[in-house]
Amino acid sequence: MHGSAMIKASMALLSGLLLWAAWFTLAYALHGAQCEGALGLTRTGGQMAQLALWGAMLAAIVAQARWVQCWAARGDVSGRLLRSARYLQFAAIGSTVFVGLPILVLAPC
């Protein structure tokens, strides 16, 4: 496997979880800023901002997972590596859904 394929494989393996980590960091920061009143958002406004961020990041992770599926169809790297990339993408989607569910049912502060 040459350098370009190795970089793509690394991105396929890590990108979903990196996007999840970025979303989690932003959501946690937004929650803290909202609770301290730094953003001037109402309770409902803050929850709507959290939901919008959650939906946008979930859409981005799903789109990225589809990119991994399309890239896997071309057969640039080994099947085991691509299977691992798929499992990691599913883990990122599941983590985003599972961690974001409390936004729907709990008060922001």
Q: How far is CA 66 from the centre of its chain?
A: 13
> Between 17 and 82, where is the model more confident?
17
* Cβ neighbour number for residue 89 with a 10 Å cutoff: 24
Helix (H, G, I), strand (E, B) or coil at 101: coil
Give the Cα separation of 58 and 21 in Å (integer). Answer: 12
Instruction: Please give the pLDDT value at position 56.
Output: 93
Residue 48 amino acid letter: M
The structural domain count of the chain equals: 1
Q: What is the mean pLDDT of the chain?
A: 80
Q: Which domain holds residue 52?
A: 3-105
Calculate mean pLDDT across residues 39-64.
83
Q: Is the pLDDT of residue 77 over 70?
A: no
Q: Is the pLDDT of residue 51 over 90?
A: no
Q: Is the pLDDT of residue 1 over 60?
A: no
- Computed over its alpha carbons, how large is the radius of gyration of the chain? 17
